Amino acid sequence: IENLTGVKQVHGVTGPYDGVAYIEAKDIKELSQLVLSEMQNLDGVRDTTTCLVIG
């Protein structure tokens, strides 16, 4: 995940998720392309949840 374009940080976490990736994208279309076409196709990735920083 850390080698994907736009991914700035990746951290393992406790709780219901295995990790958090911080991604920078120019717009929602670019973000969607990365998550849907690249990240979700990686081996071991079963599901993703996207949360936007708005501040």
pLDDT in tens, 3-39: 999 999 999 999 999 999 999 999 999 999 999 999 9
List the CATH code of the domain at 1-55: 3.30.70.920
pLDDT at 36: 94
- Residue 55 confidence class, pLDDT cut points 50, 70, 90: confident
Task: Answer whether 34's CB lies under 8 Å from 25's CB.
Answer: yes
What pTM, to 2 d.p., does this model score? 0.82
pLDDT at 18: 94
CA distance 9 to 15: 19
Contacts of 25 (CB under 8 A, 6+ apart): 6, 31, 34
